[in-house]
Chains A and B, each alone.
Chain A
Amino acid sequence: SKKQKWEKPSLENVST
């Protein structure tokens, strides 16, 4: 029942 640790959500533009 252990919760996952919160990690800041990220969004990275990888368009080339």
Chain B
Amino acid sequence: MKFANSVKVRSEKFGSVVFETLRERVFVSNTTGADVLKLIEDGKTKEEIIADLSAKYDGNESTIKNDIAEYFACLEQNNLLA
């Protein structure tokens, strides 16, 4: 997976800031969202991201899977993914 060419991500203490330069939009993400964004930047697949975060975090695996799927849908809806 990768971001659209017009997307830049900056890490912050609270999570991440996402700049979409084509339409001049700015998004903020919490720390778990920032982890997902970082793994997308690393070129990981959706399945790899789910596996990585399920191992890193304490939570129900199906909840984590559904939350990440929702997050991806949100990224796609906002045209942030390539």
Which of A3, A10, A13 lies at the interface centre, i.e. has the most chain B CB atoms within 10 A of its CB?
A10
Q: Which residues of B contact A8 (CB under 8 A)?
A: 32, 67, 70
Residues of B within 8 A of A6 (CB): 32, 53, 57-60, 63-64, 67
Are A11 and B29 in contact (CB-based, < 8 A)? yes
Which DSSP category, helix, strand, loop or mixed, fits chain A's interface? loop
B57 x A5 contact (CB < 8 A): yes
Number of interface residues of A (CB under 8 A): 14
Using CB atoms, name the residue of chain B closest to A13: B27
- In the complex, chain A residues whose CB is within 8 Å of the CB of B18: 11
**Which residues from B are CB-within-8-Å of A2?**
58
Determine if A14 and B26 form an interchain contact, defined as CB atoms under 8 angstroms apart: yes
Residue from A8, A11, A15 whose CB has the most chain B CB atoms within 10 Å: A11
Which 6 interchain pairs have the tightest Cβ spacing?
A: A6-B59, A9-B33, A3-B58, A6-B57, A9-B32, A15-B25
